[in-house]
Structure 1
Amino acid sequence: MTIEQRKEKLIILGNFLGQFSVSGIEKKVGIAQNDSYFDRLQEKIDAAVHHNGWFTRENVLFSLEQWSKALTPSNLEKWLSRYDFKKVERKTVGIIMAGNIPLVGFHDFISVLVSGHKVLVKQSSNDMLLLPVIADYLIAVAPEWKENIEFLDTSEGASKMENYDAVIATGSNNTARYFEYYFAGKPSIIRKNRNSVAILTGKETKEELTALGEDIFRYYGLGCRNVSKLYVPEGYDFDAFFKAIYPWNPIINQAKYANNYDYNKAVYLMSLYKLLENGFLILKEDKSFSSPIATLFYETFSDLSELKKELRKKENSIQCIVSKDLFEKEVPFGKTQHPELWDYADNIDTLSFLTEEV
């Protein structure tokens, strides 16, 4: 297929996924292969919710809805027009996916396909139900992709991946060291732990602080794009922040989240840490980036310019910076879980890698 044909197939996929949203699931007319795949995907959504306690129905549908909004003609044109696909020679690219949020490896998956390569997928056991049916849908609308998509058994380790030319692997800092050793000698993208932060000045509107709740609580804070730490001015009054995020209070009704809240609160109190909390979120002053579930770290600053210098030094640990008119590449409040196709994880251009290095 030409790049235009591959792009057209992704548009068709976007239309198909557009039937699944947080507001509801609605079967529409005029969708390619809908009779064969609408019910199949709906069944896998239900199965994924039962398979992984963190994959609530709302969060799975949220992920599908965001992908349907991303795979539009204008977005795909803006994303793909910057690359030269004519010189790409078909190779096999292995993808080792994380499983922290639904379809977290999907961007890598479509990047390999749209660039003209074969994709060899090693899914996480935590997120192994949704992608295969979406892949089958793509094969149904583009039979040419049948030879370009292969899934490995989720029970097999990375060492079982064979006959590949390049690899994209996502994991923790510990597994990244293993990946770097095992995949040495092959073109690769190895992703490690990253977290996102937000900078508040005290001038934020209620609407902006409420939107920040989406950045904190979506997917229970399990994504690298979730805000896990706040930077606030010295003497900052958290009352407005707590009031603005209160609409997220039903999150405490999720048993796994509530268990983490209770456990972390107990540990912190026994350690005599000073805490702020509102019944569903714990605020703890801490210099670290990675906060536990149901906890948000914060740190105060007195000089904004010095804070900017500090964050630039730590940019390899930061996925997103949420702020307003402070940073060149900042993310607006409420938008961390709404990335564009060209917002690459770890700021590594996946399509440049696939078109120039593989």
Structure 2
Amino acid sequence: MTLEHKKNIFVELGKFLSQFSENESTRNENVLYNDLFFNDFLDLILLSQSHNGWYTPEQVYFAVNSWAEALTEENLNQWLSAYDLKEIEPKTVGLILAGNIPLVGFHDFLSVLISGHKVLVKTSSNDQHLLPFLAKYMIAFEPELANYITFVEGKLENFDAVIATGSNNTARYFEYYFKDKPSIIRKNRNSVAVLTGKESPEDFHKLGEDIFRYFGLGCRNVSKLFVPKDYIFDPFFEGIFGHQDVIHYEKYANNYDYNKAVFLMSNFKLLDNGFLTIKEDSSYSSPISSVFYEFYKDLNDLKKRLETEKDQIQCIVSNGTIENSIPFGKTQKPELWDYADNVDTIKFLQSI
């Protein structure tokens, strides 16, 4: 398969995904193989919460829409223009995927196939259905892909390189187990927002999207705020109030009640608005339904600290205060060229 043909396969997949929306899913007669896949995918979206309680239809639709927007000819061309993929000798690349948010491993899946390699996928038990379904759609469009895509339930075997995502604890296991193979091993990371006190109500509403999308389960979700000394949080709480419906989801509400109780029993000082607690804490990783904050005195000193601790940070959100930061509301809308952990996956796949 040529690179152009592979790109076209993903463009067609993007067109398929673009039909599905939380407001109304509408069949487009120009999309191929809808007779085989449209109704089944709609059912799968609606059933996803029965497979994983965090995968509500709203969250799955958001993930699907995000990939529909990403998988365009223009985006694929812009992304891949930086690489020469003509001379790659096909290898088998194992993927060990996370399942914290819907389709979280799709970028690795896309990267392996678009670069010309074969993919051997071990899905998370928390996300076993969405990616295999999309693979079936792609194989229907191009049957030769059946020789390039394999899903396994047991341990990975007969592969040349691996990309594995997990916790800090599982990463140590991965590093030992795959020590003789070229690998990318991803660990826990968190995202932060740097506030200056000049943010608008709209900025805070968008920041709420960065905090609450996927219930805060993603590494691109903001879990830590850096705020100026003596910062007043009232505008922040007022700005995120539009996200209050998150407390109506039972699993989130249970976490909110539990974590709030643990904090209070430990005599921690909390600020609370009825669906989010915020707590002063030096850690980057806050529990679900909570965000940590820390005061800073000097912005330049904070910039130096963030650079020093960049291995713990997935992305930084600000109003342009921090160089290369992401605007409010955009953390869960990464571009194809925004790599997890800032590790260039395509460059790695070129090197194996």
2:319 equivalent to 1:324: yes
CA RMSD of aligned residues (A): 0.7
* Pairing of 1:1-358 with structure 2 (within 5 A): 1-153=1-153, 156=154, 160-355=155-350, 357-358=351-352
CA distance in 1, matches of 2:137, 2:323: 39
CA distance in 2, matches of 1:325, 1:215: 16
Q: Which runs of 5+ in 1 are unaligned?
A: none
CA distance in 2, matches of 1:22, 1:327: 34
3-state DSSP class of the match of 1:230? Answer: strand
3-state DSSP class of the match of 1:24? Answer: coil
TM-score where L is the length of structure 2? 0.99
What's the CA shift string for 1:171-230, capped at 9, x where partnerless?
A: 000000000000011110000000000000000111111100000000000000000000
Q: CA deviation at 1:23?
A: 2.7
What's the CA shift string for 1:24-46, capped at 9, x where partnerless?
A: 21111110111111112112212
CA distance in 2, matches of 1:328, 1:183: 35
Q: What is the percent sequence identity of the aligned residues?
A: 60
What's the CA shift string for 1:53-101, capped at 9, x where partnerless?
A: 1001000000000000000111000001111111100110000000000
Q: CA deviation at 1:48?
A: 1.4
- Preserved CA contact (<8 Å) 1:322 1:332: yes
Question: 2:169 is aligned with what amino acid?
Answer: N
CA distance in 2, matches of 1:12, 1:224: 28
Question: 2:261 is aligned with what amino acid?
Answer: A
Question: 1:232 is aligned with what amino acid?
Answer: V
CA distance in 1, matches of 2:102, 2:203: 26
TM-score where L is the length of structure 1? 0.97
CA distance in 2, matches of 1:270, 1:185: 47
What's the CA shift string for 1:138-170, capped at 9, x where partnerless?
A: 0011112110000001xx3xxx21100000000
What's the CA shift string for 1:232-276, capped at 9, x where partnerless?
A: 001111111001100111111111111111111111111111100
Q: Which runs of 5+ in 2 are unaligned?
A: none
CA distance in 2, matches of 1:226, 1:15: 27
- Preserved CA contact (<8 Å) 1:22 1:65: no
Q: CA deviation at 1:328?
A: 2.2
- Preserved CA contact (<8 Å) 1:40 1:133: no
Question: 2:55 is aligned with what amino acid?
Answer: F
3-state DSSP class of the match of 2:268? Answer: coil
- Preserved CA contact (<8 Å) 1:221 1:227: yes
Question: 1:138 is aligned with what amino acid?
Answer: M
CA distance in 2, matches of 1:49, 1:59: 10
CA distance in 2, matches of 1:340, 1:145: 25
